Amino acid sequence: MDRKQQYERVFCHFDGNGDGKISPVELRLCLGLLGGEISAAEAEAVVVMMDSDGDSKLGLDDFVRLIEGTEEEEKVRDLREAFKIYEMEDGSGCITTRSLKRTLSKLGEKKSFDECKSMIARFDLNGDGVLNFEEFMVMMS
């Protein structure tokens, strides 16, 4: 089963009355069954935000955008956690050659200072000698 079919299957499960759309009530009910807590107001806000045709319901395309957006948010959260492991201990929001070398060493990967400097230079898009979060995301993609 490909990804589109999986989305369609989940969509049909959420579409309780079979009208080809997911209402805020249906969204809230299904998320509740999956263990997610969402208020009526939050469900309404999600539907309004994602609704592309103005009928106050989610069509399949709206639903797919919602799901894929959620997956992307999770990826960014995971990358932020990984970034924190590598960044300077002072919380400066960047990965330096020294912090990269230190973290790799803790992970059992022995690299010289010059090797770490070269690794950073490859993805240092603005040329400041360190990696910010956006550059880290490029490196990890």
pLDDT per residue as tens digits for the range 54-70: 999 999 999 998 888 87
**Superfamily for domain range 89-140:** EF-hand (1.10.238.10)
Instruction: Note the pLDDT of residue 39.
Output: 87
Topology of domain 3-73, per CATH?
Answer: Recoverin; domain 1 (1.10.238)
**According to the model, what pLDDT value does residue 73 have?**
79
Domain residue limits, the chain: 3-73, 89-140
Ranges of the chain with pLDDT below 50: none
pTM: 0.55
What's residue 125's pLDDT?
93
Q: What is the 3-state secondary structure (H, E, C) of the chain?
A: CCHHHHHHHHHHHHCCCCCCCECHHHHHHHHHHCCCCCCHHHHHHHHHHHCCCCCCCECHHHHHHHHHHHHHHHHHHHHHHHHHHHCCCCCCCCECHHHHHHHHHHCCCCCCHHHHHHHHHHHCCCCCCCECHHHHHHHHC
Quote the percentage of the chain above a pLDDT of 70.
99
At residue 94, the pLDDT reads: 92
